Structure 1
Amino acid sequence: MQTQKNNTGKKLSRIMCLDMYLMSLSWDEYTQLQSRIEDPRPGQHPLLCWDLAAPSSERGNAEIMHTLCRIAGGADWTKQLPAILTRPYQALVLTDAQRVICWADEGFERMTGYPASFAIGKKPSFLQGTNSCPHKIAYIHKKLEAGRRFRSSLLNYRADGSEYLCGIEVFPLRHQQKITHFLALENEII
């Protein structure tokens, strides 16, 4: 089997922290490089830095990063993503500037019971119900209007009607100083 090499002659499949390097690439750079990476040891993980690779491969951060970059098009907010995605989360939700969901990861379905396809096109408020605190909702709206990163929690409802306390950390994403999207990192608070 022929092993592909990068321009320095090193085997790409043996670069320590390859996952971190791949996450830093633009979508175009990644797709050009992807075809050159081969695993010379079938059935084994090609990364040597397993302590960093395991969480990333489990979470699929590289795949998430590339999905978000594809959604962003040429927006420069993608530069923020590697740092944001190092923070803990169980679910990710991306909304546009008008707070309409345009993407959610698989963790969203695990947390809420709603498939992403159901959530897309709706505002996250569809998860709120009778016992959701109006003061918390107002606080979240105020913070979104201010366009700053913030943390909060809110009682939401799953597809089956059960309640859960959702911790959110919201990041405004800007292109040329204008907010185009918000990315919410969500965790169920138990």
Structure 2
Amino acid sequence: MKNNLNNMEGLDIYLSSMSQDDFKQKGMEVQPVNYKSMPLISWDIYMENYQNMLVASKKKMELSEVTTLAKKYQWQNDLNLVFSEHEYEAIIITDIKQNIIWVNEGFTKMTGYSQKFALNKTPNFLQGKETSIETKNRIRSKIMQNKPFKEIIINHKKDSTTYKCEVNIIPLYNKETTHFIALEKQVV
């Protein structure tokens, strides 16, 4: 395989060095591509911008999915404001009993657990021996107060490693609270 790869690289170099006349003389239909070289710094700037566009696009899709749920459950929250005010990697939406009804891809990247695994469970499965009982009690108490809050908790990934997680939990309501959204990110 390695030898074939070297041959293909050689062919690529050979073909890229050919002029239009060389292609015509050899009766080839393939047209050479004229690439303009770019300084490395331009590539870095391009890639950074491209990465930023991908992140923005993904966040827009996530907002769209959450907005679809908002229509279904008739939430009155200003979700555009919620998303613009909080940085996050993972999104978890639970029902009033804290059963997970939706998570984003960022949840899987952060925790190692799939969306399928997380559905219909409470976020308690992320907690373990390193999770502070005091923090768990504070979160439970704040949820009962039915007001937005921020807390930092130590959670456990699927591979049992721990991570410190900043959680912004916001009640989602129509006439009364029906669900909660948690916008989460790892912190050091």
Q: Indicate the TM-score class for this superposition, using the shorter chain for normalisation.
A: 0.5 to 0.7
TM-score (norm 1): 0.67
- What value does the CA root-mean-square deviation take over the aligned residues? 2.0
- Using the size of structure 2 for normalisation, the TM-score is 0.68
1:183 corresponds, among 173, 181, 184, to: 181
Confirm or deny that 1:70 pairs with 2:73.
Answer: no
Q: Paired residue for 2:151?
A: 152
2:65 aligned counterpart, secondary structure: helix
The runs of at least 4 consecutive aligned structure 1 residues that moved more than 6 Å come to none
Q: Which deviates more, 132-141 or 58-67?
A: 58-67
- For the residue of structure 2 that corresponds to 1:62, the secondary structure is helix
Q: Give runs of aligned pairs for residues 129-144 of structure 1, distance below 5 A.
A: 129-144=128-143
Q: Does 2:171 align with 1:172?
A: yes
Aligned to 1:110: 109
Map 1:76-115 to 2 at 5 A. 76-77=74-75, 79-86=77-84, 87-115=86-114
CA contact (8 A) 1:56 1:62 kept: no
Matched, 1:126 2:125: yes
Structure 1 residues 157 and 61: alpha-carbon distance in aligned structure 2, compared to 1, 3 A threshold: same
Structure 1: gaps (5+ residues): 1-52
Residue by residue, what CA displacement relative to the aligned partner does 1:39-60 show, whole Å, maximum 9, x if unpaired? xxxxxxxxxxxxxx98575142
String of CA shifts for 1:50-109, please: whole Å, max 9, x gaps: xxx985751423211221122233444254210111121111111111111100001101
Structure 2: which amino acid aligns with 1:97?
Answer: I
Letter in structure 1 aligned against 2:177? I
Query: Percent of pairs identical after alignment?
Result: 28
Over residues 23-48 of structure 1, what are the superposed CA-to-partner deviations in whole Å (9 max), with x where a residue is unaligned? xxxxxxxxxxxxxxxxxxxxxxxxxx
Q: Structure 2 unaligned runs (5+)?
A: 1-49
CA shift, 1:128, in A, is: 0.4
Whether contact under 8 Å (2:149, 2:169) holds in the other structure is yes
Mapped contact 1:68–1:78 kept (Cα < 8 A): no
